[in-house]
Amino acid sequence: MRKHDMIHKNEEDQKCLFLQKEYFCLRYNREGKQRMYEEFLKQIEDFIFIEDKPEKADVIFVPGNGYPQMAAHAAELWKEGFAPYVLPSGRYSTVLGHFAGVQDLAEQYGGNYETEWEFLRTVLQKNGVPEKAILREDQATYTYENALRSREVTDAAGIEVKKAILCCRNLHARRCILYYQLVYPETEFFVCPSDIEFTRENWHTKGEWIDQVLGEMERCGGQFHKILRELPADSEF
């Protein structure tokens, strides 16, 4: 091989090696960024989308809302014998000043309801839960108050809540368990959420869903921060 050809070949080899290095660097960066992105999503999902396998409990809680899915899920759990009572809670949002209306499956559960509790009771009854198994709390106007007033109801009824099932929307699972666990510190909770609009797997695929999930994270921090500051200095929390 002539000297000129050898020099040309070395240059080509070096160029090829350089391109290979560039390719692997780009691929590593892309894969590294993808792994970081997936880990970022997982951390958000682990925080927001809590879900437990239900176990035998003393009561099933259903925080106030206008969707029937959570109460319907609670009814199924009640019929399967997971708890003797269901306690839906809620008057209506203080922002609106009235019940917001049925948000889904209105053809099945539509009606003129004055409170969230009244609506949730109807869903429970239509799904086979008798009146005697449904406890009443129709004054709460936000999630923390759902927990506080539910505690008043169970205490007044003499129900010792050692274990409880919490049927809420998937998006609200973290906020609900924070509040209910704060009010029932000795209780073991099993969060059994219902998927509304999106799931743990696809929430990040649509802009408005991303806004809802990240907005919920902000609310968890903002609202719980306020609650913690209002607790007595000698509180265990």
76: in domain: yes
27: in domain: no
222: in domain: yes
39: in domain: no
200: in domain: yes
152: in domain: yes
Give me the CATH number covering residue 109.
Answer: 3.40.50.620
- Give the tens place of pLDDT for each residue, 161-184: 999 999 999 999 999 999 999 999
Model confidence band, residue 127 (pLDDT cutoffs 50, 70, 90): very high
174: in domain: yes
**CA gap 178, 173 in Å, rounded:** 9
Residue 153 domain boundaries: 59-230
Q: At what angle do helices 207-230 and 143-156 cross, to 10 degrees?
A: 60
32: in domain: no
Query: In the predicted model, what is the mean pLDDT of residues 99-121?
Result: 96
Q: What CA–CA distances, in Å, run from 219 to 90, 95, 163, 166, 224?
A: 19, 15, 26, 19, 8
**CA gap 154, 136 in Å, rounded:** 10
Which pTM does this prediction carry?
0.84
Q: Is the dihedral of CA 38, 41, 43, 45 positive or negative?
A: negative
Arithmetic mean of pLDDT over the chain = 88
Domain count, the chain: 1
